[in-house]
A = this chain, B = another copy of it.
């Protein structure tokens, strides 16, 4: 078993440590216009109030890092992403996860961001490795590494592990430490392959055993098309935390998943005397 690594992500005034020895770090997913009409139309109007309120509500609900995505169909991402980062800096000290497939927008965002950002994402495609990894190095950022490459998403945990290993190796050649690589095993939909959950979890186990790196994942696709999705997502995220997931990308306003993360931390012995559990319980009582 490799030693557990710590990944540090920071804003101008706050540093978040991601580590298997500490409580799970939630990366809030909501600042993303995909499928969110209200946010999308506000961004089209150059209005960042929804961005600001999404930041506040997610941090209040437990997000420690905020994903920020400026994917407005038909619009140039670069200025929007830049404005979003400025707007966020006004209302929160939570560090950001900069989520864009546009390399120009990414570089501009990194150049104005004050702190150590998490980049979402690189993968094993040659073109991505060549365009993203030098920016990780140049801006001393960390990066999410998706377990897919030019051949697509490998069907087996072993092959996904190989993609992660390749990204870590390529990053190492540029002087990027494994601590700055956060692996995403990719959780697909069990509706298409009933082994999708197991494959993601086994990928996490392999990557953690070999490299000790931190692990992120979006955990809601897994249940797409199934009934009672919240139960599946909660169970899947708790099991993934046991396997080694440390910083899921979720919506912290979804109470079931949030509670499952808190309970998993409690079970893992990462919540001394259950104090967080009891505090969160009291907060739920107050708000109900």
Interface residues of A (CB under 8 A from B): 190-191, 194-195, 197-199, 201, 222, 226-228, 231-232, 234-236, 238-239, 241-243, 259-260, 263-264, 266-269, 271-274, 277-278, 281, 284
Contact = CB atoms under 8 A, between A and B. Distances in A.
B201 A242 contact: yes
Contacts of A228: 259, 277, 281, 284
A241 B236 CA distance: 11
Tallying the copies of this chain within the complex gives 2
A274 B190 contact: yes
Nearest to A243: B242
Contacts of A271: 194
A226 B267 CA distance: 12
A263 B239 CA distance: 10
Residue of A227, A235, A236, A239 with most partner-chain B CB within 10 A = A235
Nearest to A199: B269
Given A197-B268, A236-B267, 8 more contacts: A194-B266, A195-B269, A197-B267, A198-B267, A199-B269, A227-B281, A232-B277, A235-B266
Contact of A260 (B198, B201, B231): B231
A207 B234 CA distance: 27
Residue of A242, A271, A273 with most partner-chain B CB within 10 A = A242
A264 B239 contact: yes
19 contacts: A190-B274, A194-B269, A194-B271, A194-B273, A199-B269, A222-B267, A227-B281, A228-B284, A231-B263, A232-B267, A232-B277, A234-B234, A234-B235, A234-B263, A235-B260, A235-B263, A235-B266, A238-B239, A239-B241
A236 to B, nearest CB: 5
What 10 A-B pairs come out closest when comparing CB atoms?
A: A235-B263, A197-B267, A195-B269, A198-B269, A227-B281, A239-B242, A235-B238, A236-B267, A232-B263, A231-B263
B281 A267 contact: no
Contact of A190 (B198, B266, B284): B266
A94 to B, nearest CB: 26
